[in-house]
Structure 1
Amino acid sequence: MSAPASRPFYVAVGNEEKVFKAAFRQGLSVLLKGPTGCGKTRFLEAMAYDVGRPLITVSCHDDLTTADLVGRYLLRGGETEWVDGPLTRAVREGAICYLDEVVEARQDTTVVLHPLSDHRRQLPIERLGQILDAAPGFCLVVSYNPGYQSVLKDLKDSTRQRMVAIEFGFPTPDVEEKIVAHEAGIGADAAAELVRLAQAIRRVENGGLREVSSTRVLISAGRLVAEGLSPREAAAAAIAGPLTDDPHVSNGLREMIDAYLTGPEAGRGN
């Protein structure tokens, strides 16, 4: 995968860009911590553009094996040949390898990251009997949501201490309004309404929600508004619906939507 032709839209909320670029120049691995939908992936896309490196993304899951990351032999045309996995491609090409929600992968899989994420910057490939030195420009980045994971799904200390951590939260309201307006293509007033609703949802404690309204779902709601739905219709479909299946919790969210959002005539542009 090549670097994007133009810089992905990202608004910095702290010193995260400075920390990432310093870590990249020093060949350090990076851990992105923060809630779902707060901009971790978009941040990394922008950083890949800034440092001029391709970005290879892997969405981690329970069935992810070491072979899925490193590579395996495959039968092609009657012959067996080795095919690099995404991690190996990144090591060879000097790309940024992004392991999204890394704790979803089995711990015996993530152990392969240890020699890559410390001073050695090496990837052992046991099936080939090789040890690859990371090409210049290679960077290992992993992410996870500490508030969502269970005790049984957490990063080992031996993995954490090999990385530089950058913590993310939701942007301040003024920044989030700019992001929603830009990404959804809606007016400032409509974006501000959606952000006020999100702020209210995030303030509710023990509301029966596993996740609160993220910037991502606000953008989805904004895009529905841009297509002509009323803010209330858009929020019901893009915010309340995805956040819960519980009828009681859903009714509570819809009451908040009615309280914070205006009618069909609002929110269709500047």
Structure 2
Amino acid sequence: MITELPKEIMDYIEQNQNHQNQEIDHLNTKGGYIETEDLVRKTAITFYMSKNILLKGPTGSGKTKLAESLATLYQKPMHSINCSVDLDAESLLGFKTIKEKNGKSVIEFVEGPVIQAMKNGRILYIDEINMARPETLPILNGVLDYRRTITNPFTNEVITAHKDFRVIAAINEGYIGTTPLNEALKNRFVIFQVSYLMGDPLKKVINEQTNLEDEQIIDYMLKLSEELIKETKKGKIAEEAASTRALLDACDLAVYLSPLTAIEHAIAEKLEDEREKNFVLNLAETYFKE
């Protein structure tokens, strides 16, 4: 619990505790994001105020984990949409299907994540929103602005969002296959930068979320991570190399494999460029020897 939150927000969080429904257990998430610069507090306040949140940052920096931490804090189930060029209205809103009832075939509408989240006052998490085709997203304009409504084109039903409905989106800037968000869509969000963790916050994550206990290996992993982040900022290697998620995988593997082998498979092999792979391994060899 974040004790620095205003009293009215703390009261609201307490009111939402223990409202569990076994039918939607698969939508419940677990927190675990370790904030930098009080990022969880800022986003938690924005969430409480019903503002749409856009998390910007490199791949593997913890955007999804931050969204899950907010869902856990407010005890809200979360519907997720993973955007791609194949995303269409049916993926967002739902689809019609034929079912058998009393020996007859009837057409029923299966509600999609947007409709379910709006009606039930849940969180809608839109991952990699800039991977979707620009012509797909305008269908959400009314959902994301003051109207909080949408007309379902498949049923003509007008849906007004529940007061507890919230939207969190994530964006990987400069990632292959992405397109810049248009200004109309971007203007509907409050935007937060999510950066790679470094130093003590990253060490805390390693201690809490991996099985690695060797202090020397952990310290070297931290130094390697800092070097990789610096090199990605210079443009020498792809952002994947500095992924916090990849580093945590390497730490787990290092419990049973040599650190160099762990780094090779958890970090280096994710890169497409052979030169970049070798760069990462050579850098790792300055800290670890087989």
Normalised to the residue count of structure 1, the TM-score between the two structures is: 0.89
**Distance (Å, rounded) in 1 between the aligned partners of 2:132 and 2:125:** 13
Distance 1:31 1:127, change over 3 A: same
Structure 1 residue 211 displacement after superposition: 3.5
Name which of 170, 173, 179 aligns with 1:146.
Answer: 173
Name which of 234, 249, 252 aligns with 1:223.
Answer: 252
Structure 1 residue 169 displacement after superposition: 0.4
Runs (4+) off by over 6 Å: none
Q: Contact (CA 8 Å) 1:31, 1:166: kept in 2 or not?
A: yes
Question: AA paired with 2:265?
Answer: A
1:163 aligns with 2:189: yes
Q: Contact (CA 8 Å) 1:68, 1:85: kept in 2 or not?
A: yes
Question: AA paired with 1:14?
Answer: E
Q: Contact (CA 8 Å) 2:57, 2:173: kept in 1 or not?
A: yes
1:85-96 to 2 correspondences below 5 Å = 85-96=112-123
* Mean CA deviation greater in 209-218 or 133-142: 209-218
Distance 1:109 1:216, change over 3 A: same
1:181 aligns with 2:204: no
1:116-135 to 2 correspondences below 5 Å = 116-135=143-162
**Distance (Å, rounded) in 2 between the aligned partners of 1:206 and 1:103:** 21
Q: Contact (CA 8 Å) 2:198, 2:225: kept in 1 or not?
A: no
Distance 1:50 1:149, change over 3 A: same
Structure 1 residue 210 displacement after superposition: 5.2
1:65 aligns with 2:88: yes
Q: Contact (CA 8 Å) 1:197, 1:261: kept in 2 or not?
A: no
Name which of 239, 248, 266 aligns with 1:238.
Answer: 266
1:241-252 to 2 correspondences below 5 Å = 241-242=269-270, 244-252=271-279
Q: Contact (CA 8 Å) 2:28, 2:76: kept in 1 or not?
A: no
Structure 1 residue 139 displacement after superposition: 0.4
Structure 1 residue 186 displacement after superposition: 1.0
Structure 1 residue 215 displacement after superposition: 0.6
1:39 aligns with 2:62: yes
Name which of 125, 130, 135 aligns with 1:98.
Answer: 125
Percent sequence identity is 25
Q: What is the match of residue 52 of structure 2?
A: 29
SS of 2:53's equivalent? strand
1:74 aligns with 2:103: no
1:9 aligns with 2:32: yes
Q: What is the match of residue 138 of structure 2?
A: 111
5+ long unaligned stretches in structure 2? 1-23
Structure 1 residue 76 displacement after superposition: 2.3
Q: What is the match of residue 241 of structure 2?
A: 212
**Distance (Å, rounded) in 2 between the aligned partners of 1:193 and 1:117:** 44
Structure 1 residue 147 displacement after superposition: 3.1
Q: What is the match of residue 267 of structure 1?
A: none
Q: Contact (CA 8 Å) 2:240, 2:267: kept in 1 or not?
A: no
Q: Contact (CA 8 Å) 1:38, 1:216: kept in 2 or not?
A: yes
Question: AA paired with 2:272?
Answer: D
Q: Contact (CA 8 Å) 1:71, 1:83: kept in 2 or not?
A: yes
Question: AA paired with 1:31?
Answer: L
5+ long unaligned stretches in structure 1? 264-270
Aligned residues: 259
